[in-house]
Amino acid sequence: MPATIRDVARASGVHISTVSRTFSAPHLVNPETRVRVLACAEDLGYRPNRAARALITGRTHNIGLIVADIANPFFPPLIKAAEGQARHRDYHVFVADTNEDPAAEEELVHALAKQVDGVLLCSPRMSNSLIEQVSREVPVVVINRQVAGLPCVMMDVGQGARAAIEHLLGLGHRRIALLGGPRGSWTNREMRRVAAAAVRAGGAELTLLGPNQPTETGGGALAEQVRRSGVTAVLAYNDLMAIGLIEGLDSLGLRVPQDVSVIGVDDIALSRLTRPKLTTVATPTAAAGRTAVDMLLQHDSDAPRGARGRGAVAGDRRTTAQVMLQTELVVRDSTGPVPPPGRDVAGA
């Protein structure tokens, strides 16, 4: 039979209410008493009822994590890291997928709001104004998107795009294409802004192709446009699009990197298994997941002791930090020198 709160109180020599406070409001319990109660609870295998704790504290110890596309290999490492960090902090994570649909995203935030202490929005497709609106209903930390006045964890894709373009310029490429991602993507806007400036600074020409679905199919469908454009190098929105493009170019008889150099973004596991191995911009997805969990829970720890809980956290607004994590260009086999003069890529 499972141990009860009465068993813990009897073993530790305190009142039941003291055991309850040890788990729900430990700062109100004498440190020595708290240690004794926790030790007895551990020995007896006692676990407090989460639903009952939620009624007392106003906290569910649950976090919502909403991602744009759970089938995209970019997200699982982030989900795993966030879940591990939350568990370490005695929280559980509910994961939901929007399939790149901003309307589904908004609906999910509303559905989770009363079941969780906060929501992590990863690569959201909602507008900034709508994100700000839902943040008034439940505490929100945004991952891979910058929203003024809200806590955000971003990966410096702009710096990564600059490094990628400079790498291609260094190889002699002067006609470069950027395969854009989905409309409304912050990452897409950052890559386009920085890539355009870097290409211009290098005296080269940038061809923009997009917006597009950020999938292998989306990348493959652009192979013919890339061939007709006559570019000799491509920076894709993500690794999936880059891999799909390489497959599409191969079907047209174009070799990578001999005819066209290709760079992706994310450094997913598949990028190291393709042939040629993909040159890519590595993004710190696991670090982003852990940082976002800590940032969300910081709302709770910053709130006044007598006013914690979901409503108090949402209104506290102290934690509005915006963290930028560094990216890194990883050079592999899918990039090489510009094809020699006379090689007609467009007509291959």
Lowest mean pLDDT among 2-11, 120-129, 230-239, 289-298: 2-11
Average pLDDT over residues 41-52: 75
DSSP state of 26: G
2 vs 102, higher pLDDT: 102
Q: Does residue 134 register a pLDDT over 90? A: yes
- Confidence (pLDDT) at 240: 97
Domain 62-155+285-324 and domain 157-283, same fold? Reply is yes
Architecture field, domain 157-283: 3-Layer(aba) Sandwich (3.40)
CATH topology of domain 62-155+285-324: Rossmann fold (3.40.50)
Q: Among 3.40.50.2000, 1.10.3720.10, 3.60.15.10, 1.10.260.40, name the CATH number for the domain at 5-48.
A: 1.10.260.40
Beta-bridge partners for 242: none
Q: What Å distances lie between residue 11 and 16, 36, 61, 326, CA to CA?
A: 11, 9, 27, 51
The residues that bridge with 266 in the sheet, in sequence order, are 282
pLDDT in tens, 188-213: 999 999 999 999 999 999 999 999 99
What are the DSSP E strand ranges found in the chain?
62-67, 92-97, 119-122, 140-143, 152-155, 175-179, 205-209, 233-236, 261-266, 279-282, 322-325, 328-330
Is pLDDT of 300 > 60? Answer: no
Cα three-residue angle 282-287-288, rounded to 5 degrees: 90
Reported confidence tier of residue 325, pLDDT bands at 50, 70, 90: very high
Would you say 100 and 182 are in contact if contact means Cβ atoms under 8 Å apart? yes
**Strongest mean pLDDT among 58-62, 84-88, 204-208:** 204-208
When pLDDT is cut at 50, 70 and 90, the band that residue 309 belongs to is very low
Q: How far apart are CA 313 and CA 300, in angstroms?
A: 6
**Mean pLDDT score across all residues of the chain:** 89
Alpha-carbon distances of 88 from 78, 81, 82, 148, rounded to whole Å:
15, 11, 10, 29
Domain boundaries, the chain: 5-48, 62-155+285-324, 157-283
Is pLDDT above 50 for 316? Answer: no
Per-residue pLDDT tens over the stretch 280-294: 999 999 999 999 999
